[in-house]
Amino acid sequence: MSLLFTDAELGDGRVVDVRVEGETVSAVDATLERRPEDEPIDVAGKLLLPGMVDVHVHFRQPGFPHKETWATGSRSAAAGGVTTVVDQPNTDPPTVDRDAFDEKAALAADSLVDYGLNGGVTADWAPDSLFDRPLFALGEVFLADSTGEMGIDTALFADAVAAACGRDVPVTVHAEDATLFDESARDRSDADAWSAYRTAEAEASAVEQACSVAADTGGRIHVAHASTPAGIDAADAAGMTCEVTPHHLLLSRADLEELGTHGRMNPPLRSESRREAVFERVVDGTVDMVATDHAPHTRAEKDTDIWSAPSGVPGVETALPLLLGLAARGEMSYERVRELTATAPAKRFDLSSKGRIEVGRDADLVVVDPTAAEPVRANRLHTKCDWTPFEGHEAVFPELTLVRGEVVYRRATDTFGEPAGKNVRLL
Ligand SMILES: [Zn+2]
């Protein structure tokens, strides 16, 4: 049995037929002769895109299954057209040694989508034990944070970058320099106080420090959730890559009155003028990719004062749909959406079977009706946390999502496939 998608628009002007045999794309051409074993799927007028590779999610297991699980997080991913996720290490236990990696890997067997697992760096990490496992990367290593539970100093950061680069493991960095936070904002209690406290200057400074450490060790780093034009430009100037989240692309401090403590995340929302400058850099190619930093917390956890609320917002299900919404309105090309969500992350992180609809690559596919724009509604999403900072934003959700040739989500019936996700470092 094979699937034959006919008259698929690839988003770059090309209209093709695409055949899927087993887990992979076996043919792409203007027209493919239909064979008896082909099951045809007419997608005329629709986009066929490579599934999103989201290199930054927090699926919260082990440790915090009341916020999200591999089952609920991966359903949310599949419904949003995300076919590969990369989970960050700040779970409980943190993924800093072999045993913790193995515990998480066992839980990830519940995933509907393919996944990578990042290792973490803490004062008591065990590099030899950790690097013994198929890591995706060292994940959002938190440089220059004096307060966070996973923050490390520059010396340990340099050791970690050297150790990872020596083993060809990528390093992604959470770049905020806590010495540049504005302590005077601590007197305030409004939601905007978080943005005033974690200053824009703290990001560019940390990006510069991280890039200079990477240059000293001959390594390359990837800057997670860049939120300011200065941070993006610093990474770009140093020849490093960066990702931007949908919330830093679409939301700003102007939204905090409405979002309240639900709009608290790290790095925080920035001014509207900085958001616009970030948007320009996403469109013009300075920013390499979009990643969600999907970081769910329950409403009850978020409904407290701004200094006590946990940082983070959900986003894995809405990222690609929001970008498709922008493309449908002409604010970004479909080609750029494809590059930001699939091609670029697959290339940067050496996923040679992902990111493109090409013969021999995994059939990680998303079918989209570009005319089907609708407002985001939390009650239609599948994340366990049951809310979204993008309520009411126009989005185009996928009709169908396939991972390695298997349908994992069908929007018409709101039904999911079986969990069969694999560690992409073992594919
Ligand atoms: Zn994160």
Q: What average pLDDT does the chain have?
A: 96
Same domain membership, residue 145 and residue 203:
yes
How much distance in Å is there from the Cα of 140 to the middle of ligand 1?
7
CB 336 within 8 A of CB 49: no
**Boundaries of domain holding 32:** 2-48+359-417
Same domain membership, residue 58 and residue 17:
no
Average pLDDT over residues 107-129: 96
Which tens digits make up the pLDDT trace of 148-174?
455 677 888 889 999 998 899 999 999
Same domain membership, residue 401 and residue 323:
no
Does pLDDT of 147 surpass 60?
no
Quote the percentage of the chain above a pLDDT of 90.
Answer: 92
Same domain membership, residue 27 and residue 111:
no
pLDDT class of 292 with cuts at 50, 70, 90 = very high
How much distance in Å is there from the Cα of 27 to the middle of ligand 1?
37
How much distance in Å is there from the Cα of 289 to the middle of ligand 1?
15
Q: What is the pLDDT of residue 152?
A: 73
Same domain membership, residue 325 and residue 207:
yes
Catalytic residue among 17, 288, 293, 364: 293
CB 289 within 8 A of CB 345: yes
CB 142 within 8 A of CB 152: yes
Beta bridge partners of 289: 243
Quote the percentage of the chain above a pLDDT of 70.
Answer: 98
How much distance in Å is there from the Cα of 55 to the middle of ligand 1?
10
Does 215 reside within a domain?
Answer: yes
How much distance in Å is there from the Cα of 173 to the middle of ligand 1?
10
How far is residue 63's CA from residue 93's CA, in Å, rounded to a whole number?
7
How far is residue 80's CA from residue 54's CA, in Å, rounded to a whole number?
11
Which tens digits make up the pLDDT trace of 5-45?
999 999 999 999 999 999 999 999 999 999 999 999 999 99
Does pLDDT of 322 surpass 90?
yes
Same domain membership, residue 337 and residue 394:
no
Does 132 reside within a domain?
Answer: yes
| Residue finishing a domain among 322, 348, 374 | 348
How much distance in Å is there from the Cα of 188 to the middle of ligand 1?
25
| Residue finishing a domain among 327, 348, 369 | 348
Average pLDDT over residues 93-120: 97
Same domain membership, residue 200 and residue 278:
yes
Which tens digits make up the pLDDT trace of 382-395?
999 999 999 999 99
* CA nearest to 240, candidates 254, 226, 227: 226
Does 313 reside within a domain?
Answer: yes
Same domain membership, residue 151 and residue 165:
yes
Does 284 reside within a domain?
Answer: yes
Q: What is the pLDDT of residue 290?
A: 98
What is the 3 state secondary structure string of the chain? CEEEEEEEECCCCCEEEEEEECCEEEEEECCCCCCCCEEEEECCCCEEEECEEEEEECCCCCCCCCCCCHHHHHHHHHHCCEEEEEECCCCCCCCCCHHHHHHHHHHHHHCCCEEEECECCCCCCCHHHHCCCCCCCEEEEEECCCCCCCEECHHHHHHHHHHHHHCCCCEEEEECCHHHCCHHHHHCCCCCHHHHHCCHHHHHHHHHHHHHHHHHHCCCEEECCCCCHHHHHHHHHCCCEEEECHHHHHCCHHHHHHHHHHHCCCCCCCCHHHHHHHHHHHHHCCCCEECCCECCCCHHHHCCCCCCCCCCECCCCCHHHHHHHHHHCCCCCHHHHHHHHHHHHHHHCCCCCCCCCCCCCECCEEEECCCCCEECCHHHCCCCCCCCCCCCCEECCCCEEEECCEEEEECCCCEECCCCCCEHHHC
How much distance in Å is there from the Cα of 22 to the middle of ligand 1?
34
Indicate the burial class of 425 (C-beta count within 10 angstroms; 0-12, 13-18, 19 or more).
middle
* Distances 143 to 152, 153, 161, 258 between C-alpha atoms, Å: 6, 6, 11, 31
Does pLDDT of 143 surpass 90?
no
How much distance in Å is there from the Cα of 66 to the middle of ligand 1?
18
Count of the separate structural domains present in the chain: 2
Q: What is the pLDDT of residue 148?
A: 47
Same domain membership, residue 105 and residue 190:
yes
Output 79 or 142, whichever has higher pLDDT: 79
Q: What is the pLDDT of residue 243?
A: 98
Does 125 reside within a domain?
Answer: yes
102 among known catalytic residues: no
How much distance in Å is there from the Cα of 208 to the middle of ligand 1?
19
Does 71 reside within a domain?
Answer: yes
CATH number for the domain that contains residue 29: 2.30.40.10
CB 118 within 8 A of CB 95: yes
How much distance in Å is there from the Cα of 31 to the middle of ligand 1?
43
Same domain membership, residue 146 and residue 24:
no
Output 141 or 149, whichever has higher pLDDT: 141
CATH number for the domain that contains residue 250: 3.20.20.140
CB 144 within 8 A of CB 178: yes
Q: What is the pLDDT of residue 142?
A: 81
Does pLDDT of 267 surpass 90?
yes
Q: How many CB atoms lie within 10 A of CB 150?
A: 20
Average pLDDT over residues 288-309: 97
How much distance in Å is there from the Cα of 412 to the middle of ligand 1?
32
* Distances 58 to 8, 62, 63, 131, 170 between C-alpha atoms, Å: 33, 11, 11, 21, 18
How much distance in Å is there from the Cα of 44 to the middle of ligand 1?
38
| Residue finishing a domain among 302, 318, 348 | 348
Which tens digits make up the pLDDT trace of 175-206?
999 889 999 999 999 999 999 999 999 999 99
Same domain membership, residue 307 and residue 246:
yes
30-62 burial: b if 16+ Cβ within 10 Å, else e: eebeeeeebeebebeebbbbbbbbbbbbbbbbb
Does 425 reside within a domain?
Answer: no
Does 427 reside within a domain?
Answer: no
Same domain membership, residue 44 and residue 71:
no
Does pLDDT of 146 surpass 70?
no
